[in-house]
Structure 1
Amino acid sequence: MRILTPFLLFIFLFAVEVHAQETVERTNNGTIILEDFEADPGGDLPQHWYDRDGNKKLVNHDKDFSQHYHYTIRKDAGNKFLRYQGVTAKHINLPLINENKENIYDINLYETPILSWKVRAHELPKGANEKSSDLNDSVASIYVVFDMGRVALVKKVPKSIRYTWSTTLPKGETGSKLFGNQQIIVVESGEDKKGEWVTFERNLVKDYRDRFGDDPPKHPLAILILSDGNSTNSYVKADYDDIMLKPAK
């Protein structure tokens, strides 16, 4: 897996070309539907998601560029979802702020702290381990990017939590990268639930406090998705759906 460097994340967070307010879809109980892929045409890249560096929407790139992103919209029993199948590591990004640092989806994490999403794992990377630089692949990971941290009191890098379905690390395992600015939480492990939709829910406020030791900002900066198998040279296949922020129960 190609780790998203501080430089690339800096570009992403402050150079995204999001000019207009996105349509905010909320349910009756206040849940914010960030992405359910239902508005996307089938068989193509997701229309609201940006490239790895956050420079441009994937659908606005030419084919020579976008062919390296192995994410497509699929439909099954009337439901649309995002599928990754391939080997290479390419994050895709859903900005939650625009270039003016405005809160696109009107998010307040203290009102909707529960991140909910679905994953269906089909093919896991063989022997992968997210805590090892040489084996750092995942069948499915979602990152929440919060704010800017620091390295050596000078250089800033983004603070993020990565929720991952690991091949070898046990469920509940934690770790960190980028000098502690990227926190890893394993939400599922192994192949026991392979082939079935699994819904995950995490309290972002609690996880941020537990992992970083202070309170998160009200407005996260982005959601990132990554599936890959390039470190272990594995073919990987996984589906994503229904990314939401919910009020606490």
Structure 2
Amino acid sequence: MYTSPMKKHAKGVLAALALTAALPFFGPPQACAETFLREDFATLDNWKEQTFKKIPRHTTYTAGKVNGVDALMADSRSSASGLVLQKVFDVYEHPLLRWRWKVGNIIPEADGTKKTGDDYPLRIYVVFTYDPGSATGFTKLRYSLAKMVNGDYPPHSTLNYVWANVENTPDHFRSPYTDRAAIIPLRRGPADAGIWLEESVNIVDDYRRVFGEDPPHKAALAIMTDTDNTRSRATAFIDWIEVD
């Protein structure tokens, strides 16, 4: 019987983000130049914490002032949990994702290409919702069996933008836990730790580049700092995040 990657290891696809299938979808595809999201982290009202049954220690996320600026602060101590944005958007209408982040440190023992080193000071997830209406053949059967086991569909796939710990980390690679999760390191190593840096990515272009196909329409965002595999500590910050 098919075993969901989430059952094998919750962090691989940020487990219960399968619940994005149940979140409201903000309108059918249409010409739209409006910004979908501008989050400045004055509060965490738009986000829900995601914890994992087999990981008892949870990362602490706090909205507060960092040098006088509202920001999200993450503190992970041999722990893992995430924040999930409680909105779903169409990546073809809003393909641009931007944010400003900073890490207090990297995790020297971590190597994301291995299960034992699957920790990062900061991850930005784009989680694509599985659509049973557009699936065919073995894919439909596989996800139906996963729903029978877990009570809901797992995500179709994820893009995982990370601050990598190792300088020679590949340009992109698949999670050691599931080939439906693509890891894209935007920063590597300790050189820029402690510095605010801005990132800008095109979700659709990146998905096509790493998966070789068009992405599903519906997606949600998530954030995670995790140190449970390496039993270490990491701190990280996000000033703002924007979806256009």
TM-score by length of 1: 0.73
- Counterpart of 1:155 (choices 142, 146, 149) is 142
Q: What does the per-residue CA deviation read over 1:22-44, in whole Å, with 9 as the maximum and x for residues that have no partner?
A: xxxxxxx7333342113x2xxxx
Aligned-partner Cα distance in 2 for 1:134–1:171: 15
Structure 1 residue 135, shift from structure 2 partner: 0.7
Matched, 1:205 2:212: no
The equivalent of 2:180 in structure 1 is 181
- 1:13: which partner in 2? 20
Q: Which has the higher contact order (CA 8 A, sep 6+)?
A: 2
SS at match of 2:16: helix
How far apart are residue 237 of structure 1 and its match? 0.5
1:169 positional shift? 4.9
User: Does the aligned pair in 2 maintain the 1:12–1:53 contact within 8 Å?
Assistant: no
User: Is contact 2:40-2:239 (8 Å) kept?
Assistant: yes
Matched, 1:93 2:84: yes
CA gap 1:191/1:179 in 2 versus in 1, 3 angstroms: closer
Structure 2 length as normaliser, TM-score? 0.74
Determine if the alignment matches structure 1 residue 82 to structure 2 residue 72: yes
Question: In the comparison of the two structures, how many residue pairs are matched?
Answer: 209
2:62 match = 72
SS in structure 1 at match of 2:75: strand
- Which sections of structure 2, spanning at least 5 residues, go unmatched? 1-8, 27-32, 144-153
Identity score, percent:
25
Deviation at 1:7, TM superposition (A): 9.7
How far does the alpha carbon of each residue in 1:93-151 deviate from its partner, in whole angstroms, 9 at most, with x for none? 11323xxxxxxxxx443343111011111022222111110011001101001122889
What's 1:117 paired with? 99
Q: 1:3 aligns with which of 1, 7, 10?
A: 10
Within the candidate set 87, 106, 109, 1:127 is matched to: 109
Which structure: greater helix fraction? Answer: 2
Contact 1:125 1:228 in 2 (8 A): no
1:163, 1:186 within 8 Å by CA — same for their partners in 2? Answer: yes
Structure 1 spans left out of the alignment, 5+ residues: 22-28, 41-45, 55-66, 98-106
Q: Which moved more, 1:74-83 or 1:190-199?
A: 74-83
Q: Determine if the alignment matches structure 1 residue 233 to structure 2 residue 243.
A: no
The structure-2 alpha-carbon separation of the partners of 1:108 and 1:152, relative to structure 1 and needing over 3 Å to count, comes to closer
